[in-house]
Amino acid sequence: MYFLLVRRLLRRSSRAFFALSLIFFVFCLLYMSLSPTLENQQIQMGSNNKNEAKTEEKAAKVEDTNQRRGFLKYAKWNVHSVRGIYGKKNNSFLVTLGDSESAMHSIEFLNKHQEVFNLANFGQLNHQSVDFVLIVQVHNRIEYLNYLVGSLSRAKGIERVLLIFSYDKYSEPINKLIRSIDFCRVTQIFFPYNIQLFPNSFPGLGPKDCPEGTKKKEGLECANAAFPDTHGNFRLPKFTQIKHHWWWKANYAFDEIMPKYGLENKTLLFLEEDHIVTPDFLHSLKLMDEERKRVCPACELICLGTYPKKFDKYEKDIAKLGLEFWYSSKFNMGMAVDRTLWKAVQNCSKLFCSYDDYNWDWTLLQLSVKCLSSKMRVIYTKAPRVLHIGDCGVHTHRCKAERAANDALKLFERVNSSFFPASMRVLEIGKRMLKPAKPNGGWGDPRDIRLCELNTHPMESNTTTVLKEARHALPTNEL
């Protein structure tokens, strides 16, 4: 009886085991048949994701390349015919307000209430909407200024700058050119103490001043005979005006314009009418500032423009930076300065304004060596992003205005695909500084010295008071 019961249980267990085995077997068959399909689907999905990622990356690279090429492809670099567009070549502003001082008052009013163009297109000026402030010193060379404006219009990020043009001579053709700019926010200021307004009195050349070319021993009858420069020569207004203008415009920008719009903590980049910029100059400026903070926080200056003898290594050096003590003849182009450094420079105004050199850059070098707490250090790009095209200038007249500009444009076209490096690194560090040169002179007149001092903080006095006090710095009634 017991035996029969056990056998019956075993039979039931065997059937259950068989059923379970059969179910397991069927499950295995299903798994084996489905696994390749699932695996293929996973592989295919992964492959599709990778292909999509590669396609997107490739498209981004193509778009970036096209964007870079576009900066130059559609640029109209030819110099406009000033005579053809604007009328007479020398169509300059003539003072019609009664006298020069009345015109100076009008300029003072315009400077204080400067109009900012293109706000409707780019929005109000404030700390969030502006990355950099650019200031361009302009005299009268529109043939070069056309190139600068054209190159600025092709620069990536230009819509996030405030572009300031500072003049020491009013020219209607130049005014029309600047007012035609539509690629960023623009404003204009005018140096009020210019020789266009005062051709026959200080800061121009008065009738009793020593004429050009007069030597110390010949100038005994001149009003300023007792104040020759280091080399025995007397002031030349066309030279002294350059230093006056540079000093005034920098102080006016830092003390008046930038605080007015909440931009006092932004970097100010110095340009001139005979410069030309690369499409990636703002991109490079950002990268250089990042590298400066990482490698040399004590470096006060950033320089985008240098003077290489040859440009055959330009593409190779496109992402290379260097560190050195600042030296005027090497790093005076495309300088980027912040408020901290400029306040230190203003505190050395007595030396800046009294040093006998009509060149602002050589004078600034003396401040670096003799007045600032330490010599200024600069981080610079081995492949300059600001180039000088002004073959024709103050000291050079036998020249072709377009030659250097055309050379620069050919360079841009040749290396166009290498612009916009992902990063820039310091690979060269200079530890020695060249010995400062002797003063060039041209700055011995006490009127120039006093006018310079008064323009250290140009908002503290009105233009009439400043000019009157500067003129009376000459200890004689024969003005």
Annotated binding site: 137-141, 168, 241-245, 274, 388
Which residue bears the tokens 């054209």? Answer: 150
Q: Which residues contact 335 (CB under 8 A, 6 or more apart)?
A: 269, 270, 301, 302, 303, 304, 305
3-state DSSP assignment of residue 290: helix
8 Å CB contact between 170 and 106: no
Distance of alpha carbon 149 from alpha carbon 183, whole angstroms = 10
- Binding-site positions for substrate: 137-141, 168, 241-245
- Binding-site positions for Mn(2+): 274, 388
275: left (phi over 0), alpha (psi -120 to 50) or beta: beta
Distance of alpha carbon 88 from alpha carbon 92, whole angstroms = 9
Count other C-beta atoms under 10 Å from residue 466's C-beta: 22
Distance of alpha carbon 193 from alpha carbon 175, whole angstroms = 19
Distance of alpha carbon 302 from alpha carbon 326, whole angstroms = 10
User: Exposed, middle or buried, 339 (CB in 10 Å: 0-12/13-18/19+)?
Assistant: middle
Quickly list DSSP for 198-237: -TTSTTS--TTSPPTT-BGGG-TTSTTTT---TTSB---H
- Partner residues linked to 357 by β-bridges: 441
Q: b vs e for 434-447, b when ≥16 Cβ sit within 10 Å of the residue's Cβ? A: eeeeebbbbbbbbb
Q: b vs e for 76-107, b when ≥16 Cβ sit within 10 Å of the residue's Cβ? A: ebeeeebeeebeeeeeebebeeeebbebbbeb
> How long, in residues, is the chain?
479
Distance of alpha carbon 241 from alpha carbon 359, whole angstroms = 10
β-strands 425-429, 320-325 pairing: parallel
Distance of alpha carbon 146 from alpha carbon 82, whole angstroms = 10
8 Å CB contact between 131 and 162: no
